[in-house]
Amino acid sequence: MPQHLVWFRSDLRTLDNPALFAASQQGQVTGLFLLTPEQWRVHGISDYKIAFMLRSIDVASQHLAKLGIETQIVLGSDFGDAPSQVLEAAKSINATKVFWNDEVAIDEQRRDTRVTSALADAGIAVERHQGFTSLPPGSVRKPDGSPYSVFTPFKKRWFAHCIDRGVHCLPRPEPQGSPVAGAATPAVVDGVSKSFGEDRWPSGEANALTTLQEFAAEKIRDYESERDLPNLQGTSQLSPHLAAGTISANQCLEAAYQHNDHRLFGGNPGADTWISELVWREFYNHILAEHPRLATGHAFKKETDALPWNLSKEQLQRWQQGETGFPFVDAGMRQLNSTGWMHNRLRMVTAQFLAKHLFLDWRLGESYFMARLVDGDFAANNGGWQWSASTGTDAVPYFRIFNPIRQAERFDPNGDFVRRMIPELAGADKKQVLEPWKYGGVDGYPAPMIDLSTARDQTLAVWKLARS
């Protein structure tokens, strides 16, 4: 029977894994996981996400072992090692073909080109699949064949494709033999213990499925009304699993479809809204595939690369530490720093505060988020930051600037979330907790670092000058 190697990357699951399923249909499978800590650092991946991935690899290896699939876990340094390591793993089992699911970003594409070349030189075939998004990048295009750059028409076309194709998930492969011993990642990789954050972020495919099932059964119908309220557990908490690939976009869509009267849209408002958020994830990954330069620090709107951004290190540090003096902003940053995650409403508020009120380069915020987030996904993070900074595709207009006080009044009106995240304000009353400076201030909590109205006017003036 032919021997095949399946190289796992951001697809750490056995269900709905196109590369794994295809390989299992064609021969005997061995799994490969490459650990590239130096590359993770170059990409600014957080300790939370590194530990989450390591634990998820362990779980995937155990699941594969139950199917009789042996795994190899290889510790390297960066993507430069990949050609020789994949080739060595393939040769060790006399593989005739190597399978993997493609990744979108430019460094990963370049790595895969080099690996393909090394395997071809050795007479080993490559079979590439796509499993990070529901619809493959490049498959959703305008009637004239050009790519979309605005979300709403992309979404309409995406729905049309999905309805034609249907929402289907691949099964887990049949066992290829008796169970075998599973492999395990090192306890510590590049100074990161794989147990870091495990109490807050249970990892692996089984936990992903449980989280999805509970959300779809219990919370999805209230998603529209509760998703913007950071003091409630109104979101799915699936973003770390989607980023690591312990669950697929198709699995999420199928669950939403089943709990939405068997509709992709036009059903329950909560399910409709959550599905729309999944389409935003699709959109940003498709955009990144069409415009690889976005992975090299460039804005989608090229003219905005010339904006004269503020370079204040002191202001950046205060934003990073959650000491701006604006409680809703600071609560979001402190949530990020202490948990490795931030509520989506607060991601927009904190990003706009940095890029609009402080007029600091959005790339500083983008990299800081990636270095802290357990769910760091380059396409989604980049897309969200460029949306907030008005530099990206389908971005918020430059003159639309979230007021953090009004945002707090709408989404944390009693200040419960602020009190939970900012101990200095734990005893503040309803009025004082959102605008403490108006009521004598609070010992230990800083005064506002800027005047919102003045900062807004200055930002608008710079934008208007740049546009002229």
Q: What homologous superfamily does CATH list for 302-467?
A: DNA Cyclobutane Dipyrimidine Photolyase, subunit A, domain 3 (1.10.579.10)
pLDDT the model gives residue 467: 86
Report the CATH architecture of 3-129.
Answer: 3-Layer(aba) Sandwich (3.40)
**Cα separation of 64 and 337, whole Å?**
34
DSSP-H helix ranges across 189-264: 205-218, 223-226, 239-244, 249-258
Residue ranges per structural domain of the chain: 3-129, 133-167+205-290, 302-467
Q: Give the residue from 47, 37, 57 showing the smallest Cα distance to 339.
A: 47
Mean pLDDT across the stretch 243-261? Answer: 96
> How confident is the model over 442-459, as pLDDT tens digits?
999 999 999 999 999 999
Active site (catalytic) residues: 277, 280, 309, 344, 362, 385
Percent share of the chain, pLDDT over 70: 100
Q: Does the pLDDT value for residue 261 go beyond 90?
A: no
247 in Cβ contact with 208 (< 8 Å): yes
What SS3 class is residue 310?
A: strand
Question: What's the CA dihedral at 376, 379, 382, 386 to 10 degrees?
Answer: -140
Match domain 133-167+205-290 to its CATH number in 3.20.20.10, 1.25.40.80, 2.40.33.20, 1.10.3720.10: 1.25.40.80
pLDDT the model gives residue 209: 98
CA 173 to each of CA 25, 184, 237: distance values in angstroms, whole numbers, following the listed order: 8, 21, 27
pLDDT the model gives residue 466: 87
pLDDT the model gives residue 196: 98
pLDDT the model gives residue 1: 83
The amino acid at residue 346 is L
> How confident is the model over 110-125, as pLDDT tens digits?
999 999 999 999 999 9
Q: Give the residue from 127, 175, 152 showing the smallest Cα distance to 18.
A: 127
> How confident is the model over 186-219, as pLDDT tens digits?
999 999 999 999 999 999 999 999 999 999 999 9
**Cα separation of 114 and 103, whole Å?**
14
Three-class SS string for 397-410? CCCCCCCHHHHHHH
Mean pLDDT across the stretch 314-321? Answer: 98
What SS3 class is residue 300?
A: coil
Q: Does the pLDDT value for residue 395 go beyond 90?
A: no
pLDDT the model gives residue 468: 81
Listed range (141-145, 179-183, 264-268, 342-346) with the worst mean pLDDT: 264-268
Mean pLDDT across the stretch 87-92? Answer: 98
Mean pLDDT across the stretch 417-439? Answer: 96
Q: Does the pLDDT value for residue 394 go beyond 90?
A: no
Summary mean pLDDT of the chain: 96
pLDDT the model gives residue 32: 98
Angle between helices 106-121 and 82-92 (to 10 degrees): 40
Mean pLDDT across the stretch 350-354? Answer: 98
